[in-house]
Amino acid sequence: MKTLKYFSIILIGLMMFACNNPEAKDTKKEENPKDATTVDAQANADQAWYKFRGNAQNTGIATSNIKKTGLELIWKVKAKARISTSPSTSLGKVYFGAADSTFYAVNMDDGGIVWEFATQGDIRSNPIINDGVVYFGSSDNSFYALNAETGELKWKFLTGDMIMSSANIFENTIFFGSYDGNLYALNTEDGEKIWEFKTNDAVYSSPAVNENYVVFGSMDHFLYVLDNKSGELQWKFDAEDGVGSSPAISNNIVYFGSDNHTMYALDLSTGKSVWEKPFVTSAPINSSPAVDGENVYFGSYDYRFYALNAKTGVKEWEFLTEQVIHSSPAISNGLAIFGSDDNNIYAIDVKTGKEAWHYTALDRVHTSPAVCNGMIFIASFDGHLYALK
């Protein structure tokens, strides 16, 4: 409960900056600093970043390559309050929510607003797009399913508390957590509950799924592995503090961070540690790891971004920023891209740990990047969604 109280204090402080007008509709689109590069209205499905962490296993690996050299601003669009959701892309659009209680769909090519949808609370749950539907949660305790082309409400599901967890989908089931302590499994078509699993604290972590399991963390200090069809517990692991980091599954290993400063690697089938010992930083790890088969990449509140050997947990390199790192990295073309509370978006060479380039926003970059069609989309507490290419 100590950890939940800590997070509650942070949330209350952040809400003081939010514009809590659920009817807010107007946004200001910034003039393009240069001619936008036109993107096909049906963005290549193989390159779409359709959910937080890029794929169902949460590995953060992009299927689109960005440039190695510095990217330039193509456009930016401004909401009426800070943006603390990470965007997702599909169908030639970028989707995100903001603290003005509004969910947005904008054109990928120029940032023009296609539609808006008003909720009754701050939106900090990252969207997922599947079969023409976009799903997300809100601090109004509701989970929404909207038509991705029009923004029309398809259905919504009410939980017992706010939703900051980002959803994942396997077949016709969508999974997400709530601050009421539950992980929910709903039917994607109608929002009917299939099952729920109760933990002893808030579920902020976003689940990873594969053909057998759904894996997620809770602020009750445990990582949980459930059968994704029945919701039955397969095993759980005591991380000794809150688990806000979202797990990644790679090669039958689950990687995740904890508020006890530790990055873990566990056998997905047994829950046993794969590394001789977990890797310990000097501050909590909220950043969700990216895994490229060779290394595990993540940030920490100790201002550092790390690369560890995926098999051994031995540190390959670290990169020092000037503030805490909440952002979770995306890996594209040999670069790890992430944001920092020092206002910068960084691209780090995954082989050397050296900075390739950075771009400076006007406020903290708490969110994580989406990579699609050679572009990076990332939001800042300055209220802007940035498109870089």
Q: Is 249 left (phi over 0), alpha (psi -120 to 50) or beta?
A: beta
Could you report the per-residue pLDDT of 41-97, keeping only the tens digit for each?
334 556 899 999 999 999 999 999 999 998 999 999 999 999 989 999 999 999 999
Split into its structural domains, the chain has a count of: 1
Longest dimension (CA), the chain: 54
Q: What's the confidence (pLDDT) of residue 47?
A: 82
Structure tokens at 173: 């089931």
Could you report the per-residue pLDDT of 318-376, keeping only the tens digit for each?
999 999 999 999 999 999 999 999 999 999 999 999 999 999 999 999 999 999 999 99
Q: What is the pLDDT averaged over residues 200-205?
A: 97
- Where b means 16+ CB within 10 Å and e means fewer, 358-375 reads bbebeebbbbbbbbbbbb
Instruction: Give the C-alpha separation, 329 to 311, whole Å.
Output: 19
Instruction: Give the C-alpha separation, 227 to 211, whole Å.
Output: 9
Specify the pTM. Answer: 0.89
Kindly tell me if the per-residue pLDDT of 133 is higher than 60.
Answer: yes
Could you report the per-residue pLDDT of 158-186, keeping only the tens digit for each?
999 999 999 999 999 999 999 999 999 99
Q: What is the 3-state secondary structure (H, E, C) of 346-368?
A: EEEECCCCCEEEEEECCCCCCCC
Looking at the DSSP bridge assignments, the partners of residue 6 are: none
- Please report how many Cα atoms fall inside a 13 Å half-sphere around the Cα of residue 84, on the Cβ side: 23
Which residues form the domain of 301?
2-388
* Residue 10 DSSP label: H
Q: What is the pLDDT averaged over residues 225-246?
A: 98
CATH value at residue 366 = 2.130.10.10
